[in-house]
Amino acid sequence: MLCFDSVALRHADGTRALDGVSLDVPAGQFCVVLGASGAGKSTLLRTVNGLARPTTGAVRVQGTPVAPRNLARLRPRIGMIHQQFNLVARATVAQNVLCGALPAMPLWRMLPGLFTDTARRKACALIEAVGLGEEHLLRRVSELSGGQQQRVGIARAFMLDPPLVLADEPVASLDPQTSHDVLDLLRRQARERGATVLCSLHQLDLAREFADRIVALRKGRVVFDGAPQAFGPAA
């Protein structure tokens, strides 16, 4: 499903953000990338959507190499969930979720008001699926709590039924109980829709609870790769 083949990424200043990362993530897996700040988690996720380019090695999504010529084709297949939600604060919940359909749209469809009825119905269904009632549809995102905003982010990420979802520290700005609820929701949505998830986290307890597999990074290297039960405190 997702393959990292000896990926290394060195920044212009010489920082080795990734150093020889090789991973195969099978379809349907909820794979957690665990590591402290600066370990390379964001960089790893960014090599999948083309926001970061490996210095050496390759990343493939369903066999397609992540390269500039393929990005337009890959983008609709990759849902994105961000630490700071990356929503349009002044727009409504429904408008934000509809934005998740944009990567698959021709330019003329991007004009406001031209979303199809199918897209609108899908957005409503997703908003309900992430636990926001009808009363939230037309509320501005800026009026919502952090946990509610991330639910909107999750709904948006699933708009195109992507086979792959990238979640970059999706709960880093939420309190523990909300973090738990949001990760539970993300995992349930992924299972129901058959999506593979690559999710970065820095909290060991959350990784242990939600991951099918933990890949721990330290200084850009994989220092553990296996089942959560096998991840010891010393790893």
**Dist. CA 58–CA 32, nearest whole Å:** 20
Do the Cβ atoms of 45 and 166 come closer than 8 Å? yes
C-beta of 126 vs 157, nearer to ligand ADP? 157
Could you say which of 37, 118, 177, 229 contacts ligand ADP (CB under 6 A)? 37
Could you say which of 19, 35, 74, 98 contacts ligand ADP (CB under 6 A)? 35
Could you say which of 1, 3, 23, 43 contacts ligand ADP (CB under 6 A)? 43
φ, ψ for residue 146, nearest 5 deg: -60, -45
Using rule CB under 6 A, residue 39 touches ligand ADP: yes
Binding mask 117-156 for ligand ADP (x = CB under 6 A): ----------------------------------------
Calculate the CA dihedral of residues 124, 48, 223, 183 and round it to 10 degrees: 0
Largest CA distance in the chain: 54
Instruction: Tell me the helices (H) and strands (E) count for the chain, helix number first.
Output: 7, 10
C-beta of 40 vs 162, nearer to ligand ADP? 40
Q: How many residues bind ligand ADP (CB under 6 A)?
A: 13
Work out how close the CB of 37 gets to ligand ADP at its nearest, in angstroms, rounded to a whole number.
Answer: 4
Work out how close the CB of 15 gets to ligand ADP at its nearest, in angstroms, rounded to a whole number.
Answer: 4
What does DSSP assign to residue 77?
G
Q: What is the DSSP string of 156-207?
A: HHTTT--SEEEEESTTTTS-HHHHHHHHHHHHHHHHHHT-EEEEEES-HHHH
Binding mask 63-102 for ligand ADP (x = CB under 6 A): --------------------x-------------------
Could you say which of 1, 40, 48, 85 contacts ligand ADP (CB under 6 A)? 40
Handedness of CA 52, 53, 55, 56 (dihedral sign): positive
Residue ranges in contact with ligand ADP by CB under 6 A: 11, 13, 15, 17, 35, 37-43, 83
